Amino acid sequence: MTLIPIKLMPRLRGGTSLWIGGGLVGLAVFVAIAAPLIARTDPVMDANLMNAEIPPGWEFPFGTDAQGRDIYSRIVYGARISLTVGVGSQILNSLIGVSLGLTAGYWGGWWDDFVTALTNLMLAIPSLIFALAIMAILGPGLSSLLMALGLTAWSYSCRIARAQVLSLKSQGYIQAARILGYGDLRIMFTQVLPNILGPLIVIATLGMGTAILSEAALSFLGLGIRPPFPSWGSMLSEARDQINTVPWLSIFPGVAIFLTVLGLNLLGDGLRDILDPQSTTRRS
């Protein structure tokens, strides 16, 4: 048990992507959790037209919008929505994708053919197109957004899970479990799944960044989180007509999206180096 952490220590020390990405993601999580404590005003109710479109300064670090609301406070509360969408949709994606990929790779046969064909179909059409169709049916809102993004991006985790299962199901310990009388479901969830979690964690981390970008795109188009609730994408949508006259309305939400997605991508890259020693060997 003590050998694993010792072997991981050199990669942890040299994992620049892991530490930078983890720091950015940790900052975003802290901002989302501590939003009521660090926000200066209420992001929706505290509107004062006397303070409309004030540029960034000492009183308003990120400036104000056309309704006189503090942009800093709206950015802080917007982190809650973005992380909720990223985590919630990726949990649903992983549940669907891993379940399909695990059973398809283990059982094979017609079920494997069906899941493979369905996965190829989902990969052939951009997930954002499916999400747009679902949002058009369900209407805007957080729950609809989670459903749309959670049902449209599971194909990546499904393909990875299936490939990993195909490489593991002929291993000796799987055969030993069958001889001991373990059922298929018990083998899949106690013997196979724990050994393929590494790549799935990396895919889930990267998928959270994609979900945050998709939420911003849908909110920008008016199909995600609608104003006045603070969403980074909806803030960009409100600012697009004033990008030349009031640039801070679009700069700060854009920077928030960029840093959060960058942090998730770097974190996923760092986790890949730790969980897959061969990737570190190939790079060196």
Residue 135 CB burial class (10 angstroms; 0-12, 13-18, ≥19): buried
How sure is the predictor about 3, in pLDDT bands with cuts at 50, 70 and 90? very low
Verdict on whether the full-model pTM lies above 0.75: yes
Q: Is 9 among the domain residues?
A: no
Does residue 121 sit within a domain? yes
4 part of a folded domain: no
pLDDT given for residue 234 in this prediction: 85
In which band, very low, low, confident or very high, does the pLDDT at 2 lie, cut at 50, 70 and 90?
very low
Q: Evaluate whether residue 8 is within a structural domain.
A: no
| pLDDT for residue 269 | 87
Instruction: Kindly state whether residue 2 falls inside one of the protein's structural domains.
Output: no
Confidence of residue 226 (pLDDT cuts 50, 70, 90): confident
Does residue 191 form part of some domain? yes
**Mean predicted confidence (pLDDT) in 219-228:** 80
Whether residue 1 has pLDDT greater than 60: no
pLDDT over 80 at 15, yes or no: no
**Number of domains forming the structure of the chain:** 1
With respect to residue 6, please indicate whether it lies within any of the assigned structural domains: no
The DSSP letter of residue 188 is: I
- Please state, rounded to an integer, the average pLDDT across all residues of the chain: 85
Q: What is the secondary structure of 221-277 as a DSSP string? A: TTSSSPTTS--HHHHHHHHGGGTTTSTHHHHHHHHHHHHHHHHHHHHHHHHHHHH-H
Predicted confidence (pLDDT) at residue 53 exceeds the cutoff of 50 = yes
Mean pLDDT value across residues 140-148: 87
User: Residues 68-83: pLDDT tens digits?
Assistant: 899 999 999 999 998 9
Asked if residue 151 belongs to a domain, the reply is yes
Q: Residue 220: pLDDT band by 50, 70, 90 thresholds?
A: confident
User: What is the pLDDT at residue 228?
Assistant: 75
Q: Which of 15, 117, 92, 82 is nearest to 231 (CA)?
A: 82
d(CA 240, CA 234) in angstroms, rounded, equals: 10
CATH number reported for the structural domain that contains residue 118 in this entry: 1.10.3720.10
**Domain enclosing residue 265, as ranges:** 15-283
